[in-house]
Amino acid sequence: MKKDLGVAAAVYPMPVLMVAAYDENEKVNVMNVAWGQIADDDKIILFIGEGKKTWLNILSSKAFTVALADKDHMDVADFFGIASGNRIDDKFERTGYHAVKSDKVNAPIIEEFPVVMECELLEHLKDEYVSAIVGKIVNVKADEKVLDEKGKVDVAKTNALIFDQFRSGYYVTGEKAGQAWNAGKDINLRK
């Protein structure tokens, strides 16, 4: 018997995305974003609160990077979700992490995170209900240590964090349960 839980954001897993952008003086800022998703194959949509430092930076620089946070860097990833560059001028510097400028877009790449998407701002989508940053993914970079023998990202090697919005936990999993577009192929769909 199922219990009613009321209105809840009942999607799991959610990603733990490290969104980085420059301000007008190329100062690096990074925030933690769980409410984000891929649209089509080459676009990303991020639901970022208006006025947050990263939101302001993306609108002014027209670019950003999105990295997958991993277990080894969970404390800093969480810090990026607690502290704001609007209030702490040296938010990024306090972590001791390292940033390099992307060779593809006008945005910083945080070296410590293993997989990063380099994105150009396509649009700030706003209507009565949503405010979203829509970006075009122009390239992805990944540390060699998280690639398989075919050069694809092996998620088990990334130790990427997963966000649980029911109880605000960070999880990590590398257990593969099956293969998509394959696990259901033996069920006869025609009656």
Sequence-separated (6 or more) residues with CB below 8 Å from residue 70: 113, 114, 158, 159, 160, 161, 172
State which residue, 92 or 118, has the beta carbon closest to ligand FMN. 92
State which residue, 13 or 81, has the beta carbon closest to ligand FMN. 81
CB atoms < 10 A from the CB of 76, how many? 20
Host H or E run for residue 15: strand 14-15
Q: Is 20 in the site for ligand FMN (CB under 6 A)?
A: no
Q: Is 37 in the site for ligand FMN (CB under 6 A)?
A: no
Token representation of residue 3: 């219990």
* In the complex, least distance from residue 131 CB atom to ligand FMN, rounded to whole angstroms: 9
| Per-residue binding letters, 65-104, with ligand FMN (x by CB under 6 A) | -------------x--x-xxxx----x-------------
Q: Is 143 in the site for ligand FMN (CB under 6 A)?
A: no
State which residue, 88 or 147, has the beta carbon closest to ligand FMN. 88
- Of the listed pieces 31-39, 102-110, 121-129, 178-186, which binds ligand FMN according to CB under 6 A? 31-39
State which residue, 14 or 153, has the beta carbon closest to ligand FMN. 14
The residue of the chain with the least Cβ separation from ligand FMN equals 81
Query: Would you list the DSSP string of 91-149?
Result: TTGGGT--EEE-SSSSSEEETTSSEEEEEEEEEEEE-SS-EEEEEEEEEEEE-GGGB-T
Q: How many residues of this chain interact with ligand FMN, rule: CB under 6 A?
A: 20
Sequence-separated (6 or more) residues with CB below 8 Å from residue 9: 165
Q: Is 135 in the site for ligand FMN (CB under 6 A)?
A: no
3-class secondary-structure state, position 80: helix
* Distance from C-alpha of 99 to C-alpha of 83, rounded to nearest angstrom: 18
- Restricting to residues 151-180, name those near ligand FMN by CB under 6 A: 163
C-alpha distances in Å from residue 35, one per residue of 4, 80, 106: 24, 15, 23
User: Which residues of the chain form contacts with ligand FMN (CB under 6 A)?
Assistant: 29, 31-35, 47-49, 52-54, 78, 81, 83-86, 91, 163
